[in-house]
Structure 1
Amino acid sequence: MFLARPADRPAVGCCRYPDGCVYPISSNDLCEGHLYRWQRVGKPALADLPSAVRDRVTPGFSVDGLPPLLTLEFQYLLQVRTDERASRILQATWGCVTRLALTEGVSSLRDRTLDQWRGRASQDPTVRGLLGTALRALADLDRPEDEYEGDVWRPEHLGFSIEERRGVSALNFTAITQEWLRDKAKRWTKVKLGHGELRTVQSQVAVFKCFSRFLAHAYSDRQDDPTVLDRAVLETYVGWLHRHVNDNKAGRGRGKPFSAETRIRHLSTMADFFAYWHRYGWEPALSPTTRIFTDDYPRRSGLKANFIDEYLMEQIESEENLALLEPETRTMVLICRDEGLRIGEALTLKTDCLKQTPSGRWALVHYKSKDKSFRAIPASRVVVEAIREQHQRVLRRFDDGCPWLFPRAQMNPDGRHHMTYTTITRRFDAWLSRIRLVDIHGRPARVTWHQFRHTLGTRMANAGVSGRTIREVLGHTSWEMQEHYSRISDETLRREYEEKYEVRFNLKGEAVRVRRDSDLSAVEWLAEKIGRRLHAVAGGWCGRHIARPCPKTAADGCYVCEDFQTDQKFLPIHEDTLLRARELQATTEAAGRTRAAETNARLADSVEHLIIRITDEESDLRARTPDADKPDHTRTEGAADAS
């Protein structure tokens, strides 16, 4: 075998690195290694190269040579980035920014606008990002102490939790050019923040921006006078909305007219705004005709069926395809498939999201942004196992310092940030491309996280689960969602169910009860309603989660399934099954079929164990109610007297 050897380099001298180097030079009187280091630290004089290399290896950020005010600004920038705990500052980036400030000869970073700094900076995005962070941090120092007095309201400064402000940017009123409209919009928004959902309020602020553009376009000469508002103006606004093309939104809706749903949202927001103006007597007083009525709304389009086709679900649920997912995203897929959580609710799950009920069931506790509360829903066994494994991965990465089940992958040294929607969706879409998801016609298909939620509801409805139960499981607050699914019993039905206090037995012969005195009794009840399938098995009920198909075909196979439940109503069936199993056991033993005999023996033992537990429980119930079989003489005598 012939091995190529590098050509000998001409000996033109040794490296002139001050601390000594015996390697031959390549250019600039330095060897290749020291030439690379010299370039990385900014090409200082050779005499300063050793100290520059040491400073690069040892963390440190110098502000030498900067004017006093500029020094304080850079020191404040370091403190802000330290408090954010999002990403570290590279020393090379720090050096580029400080040298740029010295070159410009400014006494403060605020002597230039952000666009001017970015125009003078290098193409390195980290340099531009650091300059942007510095100017925003300095601008925050001039903000009023009360966040509501400014034109940009940041949710984190308004007291909203991480779960509430997830995916919500600042409420920005600066695009509302009419001062009177901006002041009134801020006043109305402040009221709405007290009882509304932050995400909804953010979309309503966008409605005011659109109304401001309408006034500037249709009434440019009178837009600064609030008395311009009357019924005629609002009728013009209704027509303008119908013709208006969406020019303020990226994505599929850009360049298209507003949909009926969007126009309804705009009109309902402005109708409520004018109603508040009239009700609370804001100055100046509006004309009594300044109102928007429901008759002005366009006809609402029907709700679309947004579930995932079962042909696609077969590909998604394939164990072979799921094995191609990295564990974190696979856990997310299982949670959205089996529990029907919104993707935002799943992203903000805590590491302690699993709670166990007194009967041994597992509940998944999550934050519901719609009504600002934590709620618990039944968790499938597959989801419980996946969450436990994900929790272990989080512990290995952050020890016990991360509260999130899905922490952010980057810029998260302390685990204080949860994963973003963009990251999890990018991973999911990449996996769909990898498995080549196609529809029944062979065309490439794409699904979204929210479609898993609709798919679960559709599967439950098709399996005969009560439509009201579906509503409770999915946490719907709007009755319009009845058009999607059928829906859970109210408190009256639940009370009637609990009063029956049914006793069931699982495969181990353990009694399964629903306890009314438990904090998680609602979860147990929901699990019972979801688990009881209408295609009842031959001796009880199937407790398997509705999103997971049954892997068995033979009815007797249920006796060896851990999801099987039964009670005393099915005692005759169990006794018949026991008799047949013993007969088959004797027949197969006589024929020398050892394996079949062992199978029937195990089945007979399981059924016999269930029968013993059922009869024992029934005897205990009779013992606890000794007067249950005695006639009620008082009632009989009373009835006789009445007759």
Structure 2
Amino acid sequence: MVLIMNKYPIEPRKPRDLERRARTAETGIIFNSSHIPPPAPPLQRLLDDFLTDLANAGRSRHTIVNYRCDLRRLIDFAPEGLHALDPPRLRLFFTSLAGKAPATRARAQASVNAFLAWCYKHDLIPANPMGKLDRVKVPDYFPRPLEPAVILKVLNAIPRTSLRDRLLFTLIAETGLRVSEALGIYREDLILTPDDEQIVIRGKGGRTRTVMLYAAPESLKLLHRHLREARITSGAIFRGQPTRGGSSRPMHYRTAHHAWHRYCARAGVRATIHALRHTFATRLLNEGVSLGVVRKLLGHRNMQTTLRYADVNDATVKRELLTRHRRSL
């Protein structure tokens, strides 16, 4: 009998567990049901992706800046990563803000909730832990309107050489613009047709509206002078001071905020920039302008928001009641 031997020796069969492990490495198929999912990306990278999505969704630059500020503080409380943000850790984070104003703490809660909701939507966490925490209750706050003499006192405290600042605060006082809206005005947004001067404003949520300047004569005069002296033909109207090495980019909100408080201190007045907008709305209502027109001028979506600005004095209430009484006779 002739035995035919195989030229190539037969490999000994691998143990079953080793063979199973080799197939897993080659195919990427997970056979073990107790497999641990890969760790989530670092919190800083998740924060950048979250803010990018907000920007792509058209959220305002001011909102994105506030979210970034609040969430950067949160990252310091979770060096282990996203999965460390459980209710006890979040409670510790919010406790560190105990000395802040209720509105500031409520904003921080809203920022964290939006971020964690985004993480849940992208399957990075099994649930949003903010649902187990109580929210800060913000008391209703209605800023008191300023007297015209007080506003004039602050405006007169601005040096004549600071034409940009004088125009900015005069424009807000005469038109009721939000600070962010005023700072976002570009030369291309101005329509300076004689007797029909207008500004196209880009407000919250990307909504646009038109502000008439014929009812803001002082602002219109300062605007023409500012464009001429600063030689602005395009780009932002309110930009860095060229004499101080400023760029043509829009002026930052913090710069405007600090400038306003500096002029208020010089004039011996305590008031916020937002009080200018509130004063504008109150003055119009007391002069008999309808609530619907005021809502449109302020750029509010619903009437309830406008009512928060409406501080009607007793004389206006008396006049309205008398008018209604005469009509009923």
| TM-score of the two chains, using structure 2 as the length reference | 0.64
Q: 1:294 to 1:213 in 2, by over 3 A?
A: same
1:258 to 80, 100, 110: 100
1:469 to 293, 304, 323: 293
- The equivalent of 2:61 in structure 1 is 198
Conservation of the 8 A alpha-carbon contact between 2:292 and 2:303: no
SS at match of 2:198: strand
Conservation of the 8 A alpha-carbon contact between 2:238 and 2:251: yes
- The equivalent of 1:375 in structure 2 is 209
Cα displacement (A) at 1:484: 2.0
Question: Percent same amino acid among aligned pairs?
Answer: 17
Conservation of the 8 A alpha-carbon contact between 1:404 and 1:417: yes
Cα displacement (A) at 1:486: 4.3
Structure of higher CA gyration radius: 1
Q: 1:479 to 1:291 in 2, by over 3 A?
A: farther
Conservation of the 8 A alpha-carbon contact between 2:67 and 2:111: yes
Q: What amino acid does structure 2 have at the position aligned with 1:244?
A: S
- Cα-to-partner distance string for 1:279-324 (whole Å, 9 max, x where unaligned): 3433xx52x5x4323972121221231532445235457xxx4896
- The equivalent of 1:272 in structure 2 is 114
Q: What are the equivalent positions in structure 2 for 1:483-562 lying under 5 Å apart?
A: 483-486=307-310
Conservation of the 8 A alpha-carbon contact between 2:186 and 2:235: yes
- Cα-to-partner distance string for 1:265-284 (whole Å, 9 max, x where unaligned): 233333333333333433xx
Q: Distance in 1 between matches of 2:158 and 2:244?
A: 27
Cα displacement (A) at 1:181: 2.9
Q: What are the equivalent positions in structure 2 for 1:7-406 lying under 5 Å apart?
A: 180-195=42-57, 196-216=59-79, 223-224=80-81, 227-228=83-84, 233-234=86-87, 236-237=88-89, 239-245=91-97, 257-282=99-124, 286=126, 288=127, 290-293=128-131, 296-313=134-151, 315-316=153-154, 321=156, 325-326=160-161, 327-351=163-187, 353-355=189-191, 360-368=195-203, 370-372=204-206, 374-379=208-213, 380-382=215-217, 383-395=219-231, 400=233, 402-406=234-238
- Cα-to-partner distance string for 1:557-587 (whole Å, 9 max, x where unaligned): xxxxxxxxxxxxxxxxxxxxxxxxxxxxxxx
Q: 1:483 to 1:242 in 2, by over 3 A?
A: farther
Q: What are the equivalent positions in structure 2 for 1:615-626 lying under 5 Å apart?
A: none
SS at match of 1:301: coil
Q: Distance in 2 between matches of 1:416 and 1:365?
A: 20
SS at match of 1:293: helix
Conservation of the 8 A alpha-carbon contact between 2:47 and 2:71: yes
Q: What amino acid does structure 2 have at the position aligned with 1:408?
A: G
- Cα-to-partner distance string for 1:515-546 (whole Å, 9 max, x where unaligned): xxxxxxxxxxxxxxxxxxxx89xxxxxxxxxx
Q: Distance in 2 between matches of 1:275 and 1:323?
A: 45
- Segments of 5+ residues of structure 1 without an aligned counterpart are 1-177, 217-222, 246-255, 438-443, 488-534, 537-643
More RCO (CA 8 Å, sep 6+): 2
Cα displacement (A) at 1:385: 2.7
Cα displacement (A) at 1:263: 2.8
Number of matched residues?
271
- Segments of 5+ residues of structure 2 without an aligned counterpart are 1-39, 312-318, 321-329
Q: Distance in 1 between matches of 2:227 and 2:187?
A: 6
Conservation of the 8 A alpha-carbon contact between 1:241 and 1:263: no
Q: Does 1:450 align with 2:274?
A: yes
Conservation of the 8 A alpha-carbon contact between 2:171 and 2:216: no
- Cα-to-partner distance string for 1:145-179 (whole Å, 9 max, x where unaligned): xxxxxxxxxxxxxxxxxxxxxxxxxxxxxxxxx95
Conservation of the 8 A alpha-carbon contact between 2:154 and 2:269: no
Q: Distance in 1 between matches of 2:272 and 2:297?
A: 20
Q: 1:354 to 1:237 in 2, by over 3 A?
A: same
Q: Distance in 1 between matches of 2:132 and 2:295?
A: 27
Q: 1:313 to 1:204 in 2, by over 3 A?
A: closer
SS at match of 2:221: helix
Cα displacement (A) at 1:407: 4.5
| TM-score of the two chains, using structure 1 as the length reference | 0.36
Conservation of the 8 A alpha-carbon contact between 1:362 and 1:378: yes
Q: Distance in 2 between matches of 1:423 and 1:228?
A: 36
- The equivalent of 2:27 in structure 1 is none
Conservation of the 8 A alpha-carbon contact between 1:185 and 1:208: yes
SS at match of 1:377: strand
Conservation of the 8 A alpha-carbon contact between 1:242 and 1:258: no
Cα displacement (A) at 1:204: 1.9
- The equivalent of 2:33 in structure 1 is none
Q: Distance in 1 between matches of 2:176 and 2:114?
A: 32
Q: Distance in 1 between matches of 2:264 and 2:84?
A: 54
Q: What amino acid does structure 2 have at the position aligned with 1:325?
A: R
Q: What are the equivalent positions in structure 2 for 1:582-593 lying under 5 Å apart?
A: none
Q: 1:324 to 1:227 in 2, by over 3 A?
A: closer
Q: What amino acid does structure 2 have at the position aligned with 1:186?
A: D
Q: What amino acid does structure 2 have at the position aligned with 1:197?
A: S
Q: What amino acid does structure 2 have at the position aligned with 1:463?
A: E
